A = this chain, B = another copy of it.
Amino acid sequence: MFFSSDNSSAAHPKVMDALVAANQHYAMPYGNDPIMDEVRARIRDIFEAPEAAVYLVATGTTANVLSLATYVEPWQTIYCHKAAHIQMDECGAPEFYTGGAKLVLLDGDDAKFSAQSLQSAIETTPQGFVHSVQRGAVSITNATEAGAVYTPAEVAEISKVARAYDMPVHMDGARFANALVAAGCTPAEMTWKAGVDVLSFGGTKNGLLGVEAVILFDPKKAWEFELRRKRGGHLFSKHRFLSAQMQAYLQDDLWLTMAAAANASAARLSQGIMALPSATLLHPTQANAVFAGWPRAGHRRARDAGSAYYFWPHDCSLDGPDDEILSARLVCSWSTTDQDVDKFLDLIAG
């Protein structure tokens, strides 16, 4: 009954096996290992992008900020949702890596912003006027911080606006697999076919130890990306241990299998909670996270039994009226079991 975050779950055993298997003898360092060649080829294949440049890094923040820095000048803007990870949870890493670009914050339900809200924000940033910051890039998080999913059509609509203003599109896909499974489309449809230029392709939250790929669908800036990665301290000498994780991730669609399991657990959890008399749903459950409220008494029972999760959007006290509704975030991972879910539901139902 551990729903604190998918970033605290174990790695999949197959990933550990691959890691151990990779630990033989010597291997060329810095991404020149043969496993990386396989990984690159496999990702190009999965994304139907034979020209794409593919790199591995170890954290989601790194994937995001190296991507953004490669596409955004220091005097430019990054349009994103006000709840975006790059705004809320990276301690200013985007500003650090871009040399001071400015995040322009967009509103929207479920941590999604619309093409319309993007357009209107863009229009309020004067262009060609030296006193103002200039238009830079657009960053979409899919799945969002509120567990919602952009459809390929929604992504395409946003990209169309970005394109009209000559801005590239970044997708923060820390939970890309969960979004993809939810949307039921191909990786290409969710990304470059919908106008995405660069993707942070997450693995850490979905069963790896700590690996994210960055995919530059147009490889023109590949060398700049490599220099930025090195200069940021993010190029691993024993790179094979990143490669091996990603290799296992992509083998036999393990990544999709794990994401589907996590999403299914979240759906089961969400439905179970909503079956309670006074439960409320803060956001639709589209990926692997549930944002819901239920009576304090249920929280108390769950916590007493050792459940772990965060109240949401802010901390709450277990002391107070039994029937007051307190809301929480529950995140499922590949390793969440039906038993976990059902036991938790039993606890909060009382």
- Interfacial residues, chain A to chain B (CB-CB below 8 A): 2, 4-5, 7-11, 13, 16, 19-20, 23-30, 57-62, 65-66, 73-75, 88-93, 95-103, 130-134, 204-205, 209-210, 224, 226-228, 230-238, 241, 308
Contacts and interface: CB of A to CB of B under 8 A. Distances in A.
B8 A238 contact: yes
A308 B30 CA distance: 16
B236 A58 contact: yes
Nearest to A27: B8
13 contacts: A2-B25, A11-B238, A11-B241, A16-B19, A30-B130, A59-B233, A59-B237, A61-B230, A62-B233, A88-B131, A91-B131, A97-B233, A134-B227
B25 A230 contact: no
Contact of A238 (B65, B96, B210): B210
Contacts of A100: 92, 95-96, 98-100
B2 A238 contact: no
A238 B12 CA distance: 13
Contacts of A74: 92, 95-96, 99, 231
A65 B24 CA distance: 30
A122 to B, nearest CB: 15
A152 B5 CA distance: 46
A130 B234 contact: no
Contacts of A57: 233
A313 B66 CA distance: 32
A128 to B, nearest CB: 8
Given A8-B27, A74-B99, A96-B99, 13 more contacts: A8-B26, A19-B19, A58-B58, A90-B131, A91-B131, A92-B100, A95-B101, A102-B103, A131-B230, A134-B227, A205-B237, A210-B237, A232-B232
